[in-house]
Amino acid sequence: MIKRLTALLLVCVMFSALVCGCAKKPEEPTEYIGIISAMDNEIDLLLKEAVIDRVDTVADVKYHVGSLHGQPVVITRAGIGKIRAASAATAMMIKYPISKVIFTGIAGGVADETQVLDEIIATRLVEHDYGILSNDGFEWRSGDPGFGNEAGVYYDCDPQLVQLAYDAAVEVVGENHVFRGTVATGDQFIANSEYVQKLRSDYDCCACEMEGAAVAVVCIKYKIPFVVIRALSDKADGNAHESYENFGDTAADNSSRIVIKMLDAGGK
């Protein structure tokens, strides 16, 4: 009797192991949409709306893996500045199968016609602080001469993502508050009216920030389409710090809502 019970138990264990072994594990998506920001408040709304399956940590940077409005996503806060943005974007490209990248966040307004809480959809980006500083002053130079035009100084966003982001932004804040154009990147928080004039005259840009061009370079090297979405928290002038304190969170949430609208449209 005991031998029969033992044999029966053994059969049950083996059958259970066979069933478990044959059971399929949930398949991961073949591709993810990468969503990158610099600060926590720029992805807070996205994380609240998302279904997060797991959080991976790479070099102290957290990557939230899951879905957002039905689209598979990896969401990360890279940190402020070009070095941190490039590092986090590179790790994302290596670790996950990324189909496209959306950078979401806030910026300082540069163009005359823009106002605080307007949205800027970058058509291209430029590193305004890359060059040579000599006794004759600062001479702007290309960060990499191999990026598609003779000077190699502008990084173009994907036209389809630009259009998708623009249409989504119009839905969120209205057509009168959405602009397309050049965004200038540098490792400074600009709060100087004189420098804003220089950015406007030298690069004809709509906004300035601290990460976009760095992410653009990484995406171009990995051949990943990308777009940069920036909500204006200030005008990059002498009142920039005060304006940021008052409008930063609202601007960040507006930018996140645009990302959600893009995903609702299928993230195409």
Q: Which of 42, 119, 129, 237 is catalytic?
A: 42
112, 234, 107, 255: which is closest to 173 by C-alpha? 255
Q: How far is CA 14 from CA 8, 9, 23, 24, in A?
A: 10, 9, 14, 18
Q: Is 42 considered catalytic here?
A: yes
Q: Under DSSP, is residue 101 helix (H, G, I), strand (E, B) or coil?
A: strand
Q: Under DSSP, is residue 104 helix (H, G, I), strand (E, B) or coil?
A: strand
Cα torsion 189, 192, 194, 200: sign: positive
Strands, DSSP E only, in 215-262?
A: 226-234
Distance between CA 190 and CA 251 in Å, rounded? Answer: 17
- Is there a contact between 143 and 225 (Cβ–Cβ < 8 Å)? no
Distance between CA 185 and CA 130 in Å, rounded? Answer: 9
Q: Which of 211, 234, 237, 253 is catalytic?
A: 234
In the structure, how many helices (H) and strands (E) does the chain have? 7, 12
**Residues labelled as active-site residues:** 42, 234
